[in-house]
Amino acid sequence: MSMALDAPAPEITAAALQEEIVRTIDRPENGMPETSPLLLLDVREAEERAGGYIPNSLHIPVNWVRFRLNQLDKNAEIVVYCAHGVRSNAAAAFLLRQGYRARSLKGGIYAWAAAGGEINYG
């Protein structure tokens, strides 16, 4: 199975993702329709992740995604990210071909940080 980028995956901007996270977490319990769980998937290498990551994200390096599909929820809305968005787009496209709902974070974690997104270290 190739992780090659056949067709670009849908993208989401850092600002739109931040809004979506707030809606998912702070959703009022007043009969609003249930939303799908949101899964943030970091596909960078371990050394890159040690330099900072988006809180509550799952880490699976891009070359391991195809071997660890069992760790991903088929019902989740998956947002894949890397440093700048190239690897995440390839991984999101791969996940789409496997039947997952996936998008790529446009501009990666650098765009996330530039938009004021929270970063955890360690």
Looking at the annotation, which residues are catalytic?
82
* Count of CB atoms situated within 10 Å of the CB of 28: 7
Are the beta carbons of 42 and 82 closer than 8 angstroms?
yes
Residues 57 and 43: their CA atoms lie apart, in Å, by 10
Are the beta carbons of 85 and 59 closer than 8 angstroms?
no
Residues 122 and 49: their CA atoms lie apart, in Å, by 8
